[in-house]
Amino acid sequence: MRRPVRDSLFCLAIASTGFLSAAPRGGVLHVALRAEPKTCNPVTALDAPSRDVIRRLHADLITIDRASQKTVPSLAESWSVAGNKYTLKLRKNVRFSDGAPFTADDVLFSFAVYSDEKVRSPQRDLLLIRNQPIDVRKLDAHTVTFQLPGPYAAAERIFDSIAMLPKHKLEAAWKSGKLRDAWSLNTPASEIVGLGPFRLKEYRPGEAVRLERNPYYWKSGLPNLDGLEFHLLADEDLQLARFVAGDIHLLNRLTPKAVAYLERRPEAQIVDLGPSLEYNFLAFNLSPNSPHLSAFNTREFREALSLAADRDAIVNLVFQKRATPIWGHVSPGNKLWFSNKIPHPARSIDAARARLKSAGFTWNPAGTLLDPAGAPVTFSILVSSSSHERQQMAVLLQADWKQLGIAVTITPLEFRALLDRVLNTRQFDTCLLGLGGGDADPNPEMGVWQSSGAMHLWNPNQKSPATKWEAELDALMQNQMGATKPTERFRLYARVQEIVAAEQPMIFLASPNVVVARANTVGNFRPAVLDHQTLWNVEELFLSKGGPAK
């Protein structure tokens, strides 16, 4: 799973990308999805598969160019800043995929929906600055102003995550309070309209999601492809077999073993982009209904588990050395925001046991860890059944923590069922997941670190912070969002990293490299470290009909 990641339509005009290969039109690009999408609704989508599909259907006002990591115009052809007020000029003659015109009314509608507390959109956290909403006003049919309630660093990056919605299609659902139910996978394809390069053609449950070229797409002459098909292949082995058979054109994130296998194949090109922004972690369930709250709520317990975790083994055995061990949530791959003040305590079972002892934990004669109330400490790790790497990490942690006298059960679950337990029902002890990849900037992770956030995985949607350190996190995240000086922002966000690393509501484990592969027939292939690594410029991709593409 990844954090609420940003929509990623690339908006450089084709004229400015003269280095791109001459692109033949036509063909259907086939790619893999690791799990079935849960929804086609960009307002409510939390899971990566849904977002991978949705991002090809919609567009945003300003987008982050995944190659340069800088903001570039998208549906807004230009913008100006005066104090805290942003004025965006929209492109003219832009149409939704059903032919309806896109105007400032759609922009106002979209921001009203995302900011609506009842809708509970994960993007809402981004749009609140010191808990105040952004004031959005229409100047004319193609000009919109955004008055921020206070200073907001890198404000134009906010727009990258917000897909523009068609007012004519969704207003009725919003007004009747049913927007969360809108655009499910059962909705007829013709009802789902957007401004992206593709539109939904058909959804075959358990099999594939087929998109077709959006005939009204606003980038002249694009997309090059007639269609894009997402095949639902839960297992990487299946994806690899289909890739080698020529059924799949791109593989987005390769495991190290898959890399070793594909390196010998002449028909595939492999690109290692180095350290990613992704961080893999084990999150505790610290919600009030958690069955293991007394142990999990003890900081020394969490510290002990972190001390006993063998991160080097994870890097060496799981990622075949194509990863970096981490103790905080910002990976070394994020050179702008990585704080080198986060301590890297060496793995020590003795130190872990001492930490447990200091918190009142004891051991019975059989070596089983007992909590201060005398109950044996056991818990389960939820892990995606489609992620071989995370299952391997869980097996290593299970053995590490057995040395502390803790019996850990590993429970592989289908990814959607896992997300449902973690985000909705909260029926889990711990979960092993990964986040990151959307943007290097801290703001998209407001929902992860703020106590009110839907992605505050250890205890989400809090009315008020449950602990002092979470209150401090809330304040720091709000302050960094408003700080205009880069050095001040860095200082504040470094403090966030320090608090999270010290309190350890999540035990950070490793950050893998980004390795992708393409079939040699895919042209204009320009993978990026940011999510989505291979499809961010999907409208420019093409399929070569005679021999390898450049």
Partner 1 sequence: MTRLFLLLIVILLLGPLLAPHDPLLQQRELANLAPTAQHWLGTDDYGRDVASRFLAGASWSILVGAAATALVLAIAWLIGGAAGFLGGWVDQLAMRLADLFLVLPWFYLLLGLRSLLPLSLPPRPAFALLLLTIALVSWARPARLVRGLVLTAKEAGYVHAARGFGVPAPVIFFRHVLPATFDLLATQALILLPRFILAEVSLSFLGLGLGEPDPSWGALLVPLKQAWMLDQQWWRLLPALCMMPVFIGFAALARQWGGSSARSTLR
Contact footprint for partner 1 (CB under 8 A): 235, 237, 240-241, 244, 257-258, 260-261, 264, 291, 310, 313, 316-317, 378-380, 382, 385, 388, 391-392, 394-396, 398-399, 409-412, 417, 427-429
To partner 1, the closest distance from the beta carbon of 241 in angstroms equals: 5
326, 510 in Cβ contact below 8 A? yes
2, 199 in Cβ contact below 8 A? no
289 versus 487: smaller Cβ distance to partner 1: 289
Tokens 């998109």, residue? 211
Burial of 207 (0-12, 13-18, 19+ CB in 10 A): middle
CA pair distance 415, 451, nearest whole angstrom: 24
Q: Is 341 helix (H, G, I), strand (E, B) or coil?
A: coil
Helix axes 299-308, 349-358, angle to 10 degrees: 170
To partner 1, the closest distance from the beta carbon of 544 in angstroms equals: 25
382 versus 448: smaller Cβ distance to partner 1: 382
Residue 76: count other Cβ atoms within 10 Å of its Cβ. Answer: 24
To partner 1, the closest distance from the beta carbon of 390 in angstroms equals: 12
149 versus 376: smaller Cβ distance to partner 1: 376
CA pair distance 168, 99, nearest whole angstrom: 11
133 versus 376: smaller Cβ distance to partner 1: 376
94, 101 in Cβ contact below 8 A? yes
385 versus 467: smaller Cβ distance to partner 1: 385
CA pair distance 206, 33, nearest whole angstrom: 11
235 versus 300: smaller Cβ distance to partner 1: 235
208 versus 410: smaller Cβ distance to partner 1: 410
CA pair distance 27, 147, nearest whole angstrom: 44
Residue 529 neighbours by CB under 8 Å, 6+ apart:
66, 273, 274, 275, 276, 277, 333, 437, 514
To partner 1, the closest distance from the beta carbon of 402 in angstroms equals: 8
Three-state DSSP string of 406-467: CEEEEEEECHHHHHHHHHHHCCCCEEEEEECCCCCCCHHHHHHHCCCCCCCCCCCCCCCCCC
220 versus 289: smaller Cβ distance to partner 1: 289
To partner 1, the closest distance from the beta carbon of 378 in angstroms equals: 7
To partner 1, the closest distance from the beta carbon of 391 in angstroms equals: 8
410 versus 499: smaller Cβ distance to partner 1: 410
Strands 128-129 and 132-133, bridge-based pairing: antiparallel
Whole-angstrom CA distances from 403 to 308, 364, 430, 528, 533 are 8, 14, 18, 40, 39
388 versus 491: smaller Cβ distance to partner 1: 388
To partner 1, the closest distance from the beta carbon of 433 in angstroms equals: 16
420 versus 488: smaller Cβ distance to partner 1: 420
To partner 1, the closest distance from the beta carbon of 383 in angstroms equals: 10
To partner 1, the closest distance from the beta carbon of 267 in angstroms equals: 15
CA pair distance 175, 428, nearest whole angstrom: 35
98 versus 420: smaller Cβ distance to partner 1: 420
Three-state DSSP string of 474-537: HHHHHHHHHCCCHHHHHHHHHHHHHHHHHHCCEEEEEEEEEEEEEECCEECCCCCCCCCCCCCC
Whole-angstrom CA distances from 501 to 134, 302, 384, 394, 430 are 32, 11, 24, 20, 17
To partner 1, the closest distance from the beta carbon of 117 in angstroms equals: 32
To partner 1, the closest distance from the beta carbon of 417 in angstroms equals: 8
438, 48 in Cβ contact below 8 A? no
Query: What's the distance, Cα to Cα, between the start and end of the chain in Å?
Result: 31
Strands 71-73 and 506-519, bridge-based pairing: unpaired
To partner 1, the closest distance from the beta carbon of 70 in angstroms equals: 38
Q: Which of 415, 473, 424, 417 is nearest to 445 (CA)?
A: 473
332 versus 412: smaller Cβ distance to partner 1: 412
CA pair distance 358, 161, nearest whole angstrom: 45
To partner 1, the closest distance from the beta carbon of 420 in angstroms equals: 12
